[in-house]
Amino acid sequence: MKCSLFKIVLCLLMFSLIACAQQPPREPEQALGNIRLVTLYRDRALVTREIIIPAGDPLRSIDVPDLPELVVPDSVFADGNEQTVVRAVRVSPRPASPPQRDEVRALDEQISKLTRQREEVQQMLQVVSRDIESLDELVSFSSAAGKSDLNRGVLNAETLTELSTFSMQKHRELANEKFEYEKQLKVLDGQLQRAQWSHSQATSGQQSANYQAKIFVETPDGDAGTVRLSYLVGGCGWSPQYTVRGRIGEPEFELRYSALVQQMSGEDWEGISLILSTASPSVSAPDRV
């Protein structure tokens, strides 16, 4: 009797072990996160994503797929908040999915739209440039006529003053319009370049190697938490741009300082907080080791 009972317990134990072995392993959770902050250097950027860790097991792994192709793998690090401890971060390449027809069609439409917008802005820029030239010719003619009237003693000082004030005000307005159109043109050129590059990648037949990150986190009692994933990425940068406007012989001039941003990293930076930096980034570990 005791032998039969022992066999029954042993069989039940074996069936339990077989059932546990046949259960599929738990799939790791996936989270893209949202890009919150980008520190843009001259030739690369430090991107920080905020990832919400849902409640679950105390110790678990989170997959972050589709990191940009130009990411620097050794620069990837993560840190958590008060409730989340990051145990490790592992980065590995993964093949990108083949392009879809809808993606190529959307890029074609985007390129056509940007091309039309660029042509419109270019046309308006030419119109403003011609207006400035015409205004300069009018000023030159008025100056010559004023000198002639002065030599003949029939100079109307009030009319000449009004004409000078009008020409300076109009010249300032046209210069501002030209500056805005030039700025729009540079933005459209950058967007068009990125769209053409994406279209070339999508239709080249080559699958670019993207990267994915696996974050091993621990939260007390499996509570929800937050992780900040940061990494350096290439294909982007910025350069300063200076514009000086003034008239010859006048003591005052206008100096404008702006930044020309180039962004071809493969990520969408729409609506993020952007910081321009002149520092040189280096690949290093975070403060906590």
In terms of domains, do 109 and 164 share one? yes
**Inside any domain, residue 18:** no
Question: Which amino acid, 239?
Answer: S
The whole-number pLDDT of residue 89 equals 92
Q: How many CA atoms lie within 13 Å of 3's alpha carbon, on the beta-carbon side? A: 0
Tokens representing residue 203 in the block? 């239709």
Are the beta carbons of 74 and 211 closer than 8 angstroms?
A: no
In terms of domains, do 198 and 114 share one? yes
Single residue among 203, 232, 263 that ends a domain in this structure: 203
pTM of the model: 0.54
**Inside any domain, residue 230:** yes
The pLDDT mean for the chain works out to 78
Number of domains in the chain: 2
- Whether the pLDDT of residue 15 is over 60: the answer is no
Which residues span the domain enclosing 56? 33-95+217-276
Q: What is the mean pLDDT of residues 195-210?
A: 71
In terms of domains, do 71 and 105 share one? no
DSSP β-ladder status, 253-263 and 45-53:
unpaired
In terms of domains, do 199 and 142 share one? yes
The whole-number pLDDT of residue 238 equals 93
**pLDDT grade, residue 225 (50/70/90)?**
confident
The whole-number pLDDT of residue 46 equals 95
Which residues does 30 contact at the CB level (< 8 Å), separation at least 6?
A: 62, 63, 64, 65
More confident residue, 102 or 155: 102
In terms of domains, do 112 and 70 share one? no
**Inside any domain, residue 44:** yes
pLDDT per residue over 254-286, tens digit each?
888 888 888 888 888 888 999 999 888 864 444
Single residue among 143, 171, 203 that ends a domain in this structure: 203
Tokens representing residue 199 in the block? 């279209």
Residue 35 forms beta bridges with which residues?
49
In terms of domains, do 167 and 258 share one? no
Q: Which of 201, 173, 180 is nearest to 265 (CA)?
A: 201
In terms of domains, do 114 and 87 share one? no
Q: Return the minimum-mean-pLDDT range out of 148-162, 170-184, 203-217.
A: 148-162
Are the beta carbons of 65 and 230 closer than 8 angstroms?
A: no
In terms of domains, do 182 and 106 share one? yes
- Angle at which helices 101-152 and 157-203 pack, to 10 degrees? 160
